[in-house]
Structure formats: structure tokens, C-alpha cells
Chains A and B, each alone.
Chain A
Amino acid sequence: MLRLFGLLALMWTLAVPSFAQEMPADTRAATGGAQNLEDIMRRQEGAKIDDSFRSDLTGDPDVAAATTDQLGTLGGASDPDLWRALRYNAADITTQVRTPAATTLMQDGGMSWLSFREGPMLKIAVYLLGGTLLLLTFFYLIRGRLRIHGEKTGRTIVRFKAFERFGHWLLASSFIVLGITGLISLFGRKVLIPAFGHETFSFLAVMSKWVHNNISWAFMVALVIIFFAWVVHNLPDRTDLRWLARAGGLFGGEHPPAKKFNAGQKLIFWSVIVLGGSISLSGLSLLFPFEINLFGHTFSTLNSWGLPNLFGLNDLPYPLSPQEEMQFAQLWHSIVSLVLTAIIFAHIYLGSVGMEGAFDAMGKGEVEEQWAREHHSIWAQEVLDEPANSKENT
């Protein structure tokens, strides 16, 4: 009998968890309107939760109790209501601080921005820049330096005038300094502080910020110069399709005909103009905080077109708090800059160690006639048709 009783007790003990599992899911009502197990589980999974049960519960002045009643002095809002209103940026805040973001006391976006900036963003930077350098190294090891195939003539022709080279070098030098100082800022907390300590990084960070902020103007001036100097030569045409179809003769065979700029160079040009322009715009937004808000309006427009839904995504966040505008501007600025840096790595490679005779174009402004005939045959012929443009190399 005792054994039977023990057996029954054991069965009951084992059965209780299964009963619990079969119980209906925790409902909002069961928690008195507060968050429930489902909310917690979804949050742990990193999924989006509908927290309107909290964000909307910020007190309603229309149903405010009389001042003689309980809570009446708070105008119908309890202290938790007030804190929820602050938490969801719904409180009517008055402050003496006259800055745009002063009335946002809490904003969630800050945490996801911080965790993205300290984690995935750094990985993107390492994989993108490191991967590009590795690819270029492999390419160099496999293909070697692209030589001038024909016999050199000893004659040179003018490729770029002094003003064009000035614009190029202004853009290049400012971009390199901006890239280095930008990476110092990006990798400061995670890499440079652990490596060199707070004192050293403090000096480095202050210097980087000053340099980055002020050299940016030289970059923008140079961007305008090279746009107007070269846009005419970079308009796409039929020769580009033939050039692209043969990958520019990169993997053997003759170089396809090209004008002053081949399709590859045109892609570099438009990458610099479009991505550089975008970096400049987001940079200005960061340079003058809260004055140029680029993302809230863009997100709202994209949502109205239903674009995020087309890709199976939720609507993009809107409206954005002033701080969130800055956070999105920072992420955009960094990612686009990293993409452009990877492209420029390839440009620097081909313009220096990767191709014989290429550096002279920007170094001296003149190129070997045979180089011009091989890489830019149409342009070379046009230039050589005017005899004054070719001269003996001394």
C-alpha cells in the first residue's frame, strides 16, 4: 500500500510540469496589463515586441481625477505613468536648455546603435578593408604587375593638366587623412584604448577629431573640382560595354579600346562622386548636430512606398528622435566610407604597383605613348592626331 502511494505521488510530481506546459499562454490580463512571458521570450530572441501596452499608458488628462481625489494633483497621471512618458519620449517636457535634443531624456535607439557600432560595425570594417587588401595581394601574386606589352617609344603625351592633378591630389590626400582619423575614432574604445591606454588615446582622439572635422572641407572642395574637371569624360557610352565584356583585358588578351577614361575608371569616378557626396552630406549632418536631419524623412518616404515590406522587413523607424538622426548619420557615414575606402584601395593598387606606367599620369601628368595606345587607344589616337601633343622623353 505504501509503495502504491509512493508511486502515485511520483506520478503526480512528474505530471505537474506537463500540466503547466499545457496551460494557456500567459495573457496580458493575467499580468494585470504588464508585460508577460511572451514579451520576455520575444525580447530575449531579439524580436520586435508590441509594447504599446506600456508606451500608451502614460496617463490621460481627460480622465484626470479631481484634485481632491487620489492622483488628482498629477493631472490623471501616476508616477509610473510619468516615467513611462519619459521613457517613450511622450512627456511634455519644458527645459531651460535651448538645444534641439534637450527634451529627449531617454531613447532606446542609443543602445542598439552602441552595440552595432562596437560589434558588427568593427567586423564589417575589418572584413571589408582586410578582405580587399588580401584580394589585391592574391591578384598581384597571381597576375603580377601589368606590363606595357609593346616596345616603349620614349615619347610621352600629356594625360592630366596641372589643375586636374591638383584636384586629384587634394582629394586623395584629404581622403587618406580622413580615412586614418576616421578609423582611429571607430576603433578607439575597442582596440586603441586597450592597446595604448586612455591617456594616449585621449590625445589621439582630440587630434583626430580636429583634423577629421576640418580636413573634410578640403575633401568637399576637391570633390567639386574633380566632378567639374572630369564629368564630361565619364559619361557612359558604347565603348564601356565592350570594355566591361572583356574585363578591360585584365586576364590576358589585348586591351579593349577606351577613351580618356575606360569603364573601370568611370566606375571609380562615379563611386567617388556618389559615395563621396553621400559621405559629405552625412558628415555635414554630424558636423552640425541636429541641423541637417536626413533619415527620418527618408524612412517615412520609403515606408510610404512600402519598400521595406517588399523585402519582408518591418517599417523603418519613424519619427526619429534628434539623437537617433545622429546615430543613423554616424552609421551611414562609417559604412559608406568603408565601402569607398575598399574601392580606393583597388584604385591605388592599379595606379601604382599594379600597372606599369600608370602612376606617371598623376605623378608627372604625362604618360608613355605606348601605354596610352594600349590602355586608352581611342583617346591616344585623338591626342596624337594633334602633333604638338607628343614629345620626346628626355
Chain B
Amino acid sequence: MPCINPNGQITDSARKLLSAMERPAPLPKVAADTGLPLYRIRSAVRELAQAGLVSKSGDAWQITAEGHAAMARSLTPAWRHPEAPTLRPPGLSPAAPQRRLL
């Protein structure tokens, strides 16, 4: 299950997974909480772990600080993103993001 899109942001499904791992949880519980098949959870967690967004302790997986940061970034519109301030044309108000030149 692709968890990170070509823009480097986590996908909706990854956000759902990370939310389910706010507290340490074994993968079958994550599958039950998200309603996704276990094979998709395993595949996704492998990808998230490679990106450092989740970590394992015993049988349980939990979101990392980097995972929380990725969650926050994914909820931030690109024009407000601190790493992309120059993407907003000068004078363009945040109230009119539809005019941004992205």
C-alpha cells in the first residue's frame, strides 16, 4: 500500500495507519482498528518503517516523532508549509489558496 506520494507527503491511507499506531499496537490490532486486511498493513508498515515513521518494540508498532511530523506536514496546505514559503506569490492571501501557482 503506497504510503508516501511523489510529493513526499504521506497518503490518506498512511495517515489512517499512523493514527492507529498512536499507541503501541500489534499489527493484527492495527488491521482490526483500520478495517484493512493484514497483508496490506504489513506491506504499509514495512514502507513506513523504512521511512522512519514507525518503529517496533516487541510485537507492537508505534508512530515515531518523525511520523508525527509527517502527519502534521500532510495536514498543512502547501502554500502554508514552512519549507515552501516561496511557493506563495507575494501578496496572495492565505484566504485565497486556490490562486496559488503550484
Q: Do A and B bind each other?
A: no
